[in-house]
Chain A
């Protein structure tokens, strides 16, 4: 039993260690406060809104519902890991081109939920997209333009899987 513990994870492709993490720290708090990755948002903090969605070992999860210690040894992808300096990820590009976000608070979570879907299912139906995004609440834009953007990105990724 310890007051603090070290947590090591592969974070956006780079191995990172936080050396003194109190046990009650959520993965979300670790990402935002220790690693300064503020793309994942603190919204409802009870797993309803999806603003804190990140991808852990290939699965979209709510970072507010995971202890940082439980992510030790995992491969974590946040929104900061999607684009390069030169180029947006096709999902980000499609969301931008399609004006799929207004305030943008839900955006990182929505885009990561969509990425987890497309990684597993490159050609989803509209219903499958809706299902994949049902854990991400948007209070301003609505979902129609997001669904369209995911369809556009899916087509782009199928044409150029490495994009």
Chain B
């Protein structure tokens, strides 16, 4: 690696000050699993690398008045092991588990994965399907926006150069919302998603219909996207295998997959229909299991 200066931020406020001081050329280092690869191959490295990995307030997972707050520096392994996440959101555990290999999950952070804005990221879809918000801090103070709006384009987030991603919040009303994550890669280990899909839904058991369905897709558009037409189709509809299959077909039309060396656009379209249907069916199965558990 070419030489750079390493600056260590004590906390988030310090990091923001340092970002303002060193300007847009400074790069933020969290888990390093993407940044170090980039720095090793780059012909020009930034003058300053800002290490935020010791900032305590960017760590930890906790329930707040707003919902479940996940610090940006939480690693994929920490997420997978955290009892509250395992209890409330097995889909998030599955999504984290599908990232890289053990070594990458032990270093890589949730915030780091999200800010890369790589279209095939595995952290994004489930959180988007749970209406997660991101908290950003910068020179103008703190602000929140939906995660789905945070993805501006391939490898481009809504972060300004002096901004820092603080945490991800799953809103209170979605705590325990049944969800599922599906990924299709060419291998089980260390594979990028050809397509990934997440779904969440509530069920109105009185009428046995779907309420507030969410479908999020990855690797099929410049960013993680919501399949809003498929969601609208399912809203208030009885959950039958035919309805879930139809939602999958509708989702296909909402995506803009590309052909590359991993898969053709046509193959990805087939995958979208299948993975969307599976994610919805599994979310419904989790809803059913939850209801049956509560009855006992």
A69 touches B6 (CB 8 A): yes
B19: min CB distance to chain A, Å? 14
- B5 interfacial contact with A, CB 8 Å: yes
Q: A59-B77, A62-B107 are in contact. Are A131 and B5 (CB under 8 A)?
A: no
Tell me the bound Cα distance from A39 to B48 in angstroms.
31
Tell me the bound Cα distance from A62 to B5 in angstroms.
22
- B232 interfacial contact with A, CB 8 Å: no
- B289 interfacial contact with A, CB 8 Å: no
A-B pairs with beta carbons under 8 Å apart, 27 shown: A1-B7, A2-B5, A2-B6, A22-B3, A23-B3, A23-B6, A26-B1, A46-B41, A47-B37, A47-B104, A48-B190, A50-B101, A50-B103, A59-B77, A60-B102, A60-B103, A60-B106, A62-B103, A65-B103, A67-B51, A70-B53, A113-B102, A134-B102, A134-B189, A135-B100, A135-B190, A136-B101
User: Using a CB-CB cutoff of 8 Å, which residues 1-22 of chain B contact chain A?
Assistant: 1-8
A76: min CB distance to chain B, Å? 13
Tell me the bound Cα distance from A136 to B7 in angstroms.
32
- B174 interfacial contact with A, CB 8 Å: no
A116 touches B102 (CB 8 A): yes
Nearest chain B residue, comparing its CB with the CB of A62: B103
- B212 interfacial contact with A, CB 8 Å: no
- B172 interfacial contact with A, CB 8 Å: no
Which residues of chain A come closer than 8 Å to B2, judged between CB atoms? 24
A66 touches B32 (CB 8 A): yes
- A100 interfacial contact with B, CB 8 Å: no
- A148 interfacial contact with B, CB 8 Å: no
- B36 interfacial contact with A, CB 8 Å: yes
Which residues of chain A come closer than 8 Å to B104, judged between CB atoms? 47, 62, 65, 135
Chain A proximity mask over B88-102: 1 for CB below 8 Å, otherwise 0: 000000000000111
Which residues of chain B come closer than 8 Å to A9, judged between CB atoms? none
- A31 interfacial contact with B, CB 8 Å: no
- B86 interfacial contact with A, CB 8 Å: no
Which residues of chain A come closer than 8 Å to B41, judged between CB atoms? 46
Tell me the bound Cα distance from A128 to B107 in angstroms.
19
- B157 interfacial contact with A, CB 8 Å: no
A134 touches B51 (CB 8 A): no
A59 touches B106 (CB 8 A): yes
A5 touches B102 (CB 8 A): no
Which residues of chain A come closer than 8 Å to B1, judged between CB atoms? 24, 26
A38: min CB distance to chain B, Å? 19
Tell me the bound Cα distance from A65 to B39 in angstroms.
10
A61 touches B103 (CB 8 A): yes
Ranked nearest first, the 3 interchain pairs of A and B with the lowest CB-CB distance are: A135-B101, A134-B189, A23-B6
B106 touches A134 (CB 8 A): no
Tell me the bound Cα distance from A3 to B5 in angstroms.
7
Q: Which of B41, B107, B188 has the most CB of A within 10 A?
A: B107
Tell me the bound Cα distance from A1 to B201 in angstroms.
50
A70 touches B51 (CB 8 A): yes
Select which of A46, A65, A70, A135 is within 8 A of B102 by beta carbon: A135
A23 touches B49 (CB 8 A): yes
